[in-house]
Structure 1
Amino acid sequence: MLKSVLLALMFVASSGNAATSKYLIKSTQSWNGNELPAYALAQPEVTIKEIIIAPGEKLPWHQHPVINAGILLSGELVVQTREGKKLHLKAGDTLIELVNTSHTGQNISNEPAKIVVFYLAEQGEKVTVLDHEHKE
């Protein structure tokens, strides 16, 4: 009898909510189709940033010297390269950002655009460089 009760309890416990997972994005390329660079890190450092862009705000031209990816939680963004290539993001969309390529972004919605970005860099390395700071 005790064994039956234990089995029944195990069944009930295992038939409840179970964790699930799904890929939001997985790629060897950034959003413009360029292959991500290979690099070795002596001391990897992961940075996670929440970036909030006001309605209508346009970010300055900048570059990322490191691989990074993000998910837009709210608002709408248009990301653009100097060559005119564009990516339109809506809440829930993911992206693998450009590496060492100038770009800007603008919130085209009436609400703050909130994006969470994950960076992988050498410890202490800048993850974003404004174009006027960039030395080629």
Structure 2
Amino acid sequence: MSQLPPRCSRHVRACLLFSLLGGLVAAPVAADQTTIPGVEVQRLMRSSQSWNGHQLPAYRPQQPEITILRFRIEPGARLPLHLHPVINAGVLLSGELTVESKAGEILHLKAGEALVELVGELHFGYNSGTEPVDLIVFYAGNVEQPIMELAEGAVGHD
């Protein structure tokens, strides 16, 4: 049996637990491949590019702010032409969603699929299925930075 580090001698159980968790944190690449009884981890997406292959921008040095939104989009409903000045990614929980860039690129998503959204590029999305879309989107921006900007002349909601 290997010898425990000196700092572990008093609180062996706590130290072993933190060592295990530290190993998970220290190895983020393998964290979704680690086996822990009763825990299932599935990587839905990992990318440094948006869905059309364009590189994501570097983070800004200001105070970061994470926003998480849940969208429900009725069949046939369409979001206005817009862009995101921040990195964002989503998971489609149910329904079918089509996203189109102003350049004509098209992405069709079905329930359970993830996407890394376009940054700084005009696009719109619409429910292309027969049931409501349930979508969760995570935005990684900065404090007081908008997460979406409507295209000039686009009609949207506040």
Which residue of structure 2 lines up, in the alignment, with residue 107 of structure 1? 127
Question: TM-score scaled to structure 1, two decimals?
Answer: 0.83
Task: Tell me which of 89, 92, 98 is aligned to 1:69.
Answer: 89
Which residue of structure 1 lines up, in the alignment, with residue 52 of structure 2? 32
| 1:94 aligned onto 2:79 | no
Alpha-carbon distance between aligned partners in 1 of 2:60 and 2:153, rounded to the nearest angstrom: 24
Q: Deviations over 1:2-27 (max 9, x none)?
A: xxxxxxxxxxxxxxx51121211000
Cα root mean square deviation, aligned? 1.7
Amino acid at match of 1:44: P
Amino acid at match of 1:82: K
Q: Which runs of 5+ in 2 are unaligned?
A: 1-36
From the superposition, tell whether residues 120 and 53 of structure 1 become closer, same or farther in structure 2 (CA, over 3 Å).
Answer: same
Alpha-carbon distance between aligned partners in 1 of 2:61 and 2:41, rounded to the nearest angstrom: 28
Q: CA deviation at 1:133?
A: 7.5
Q: Which runs of 5+ in 1 are unaligned?
A: 1-16
Which residue of structure 1 lines up, in the alignment, with residue 139 of structure 2? 119
Task: Tell me which of 97, 105, 120 is aligned to 1:85.
Answer: 105
Amino acid at match of 2:45: I
Q: CA deviation at 1:58?
A: 1.1
List structure 1 segments (4+ residues) > 4 angstroms apart after TM superposition.
none
Residues matched between the structures, number: 119
Alpha-carbon distance between aligned partners in 2 of 1:23 and 1:33, rounded to the nearest angstrom: 19
Question: TM-score scaled to structure 2, two decimals?
Answer: 0.72
Alpha-carbon distance between aligned partners in 1 of 2:153 and 2:61, rounded to the nearest angstrom: 23
Residues 41 and 121 in structure 1, CA contact (< 8 A), matched pair in contact too:
no
Alpha-carbon distance between aligned partners in 2 of 1:133 and 1:123, rounded to the nearest angstrom: 26
Amino acid at match of 2:54: N
Amino acid at match of 1:110: T
Task: Tell me which of 64, 70, 79 is aligned to 1:44.
Answer: 64
Amino acid at match of 2:152: H
Q: Deviations over 1:66-125 (max 9, x none)?
A: 000000011101100111100000010100000000001110111111110000111121
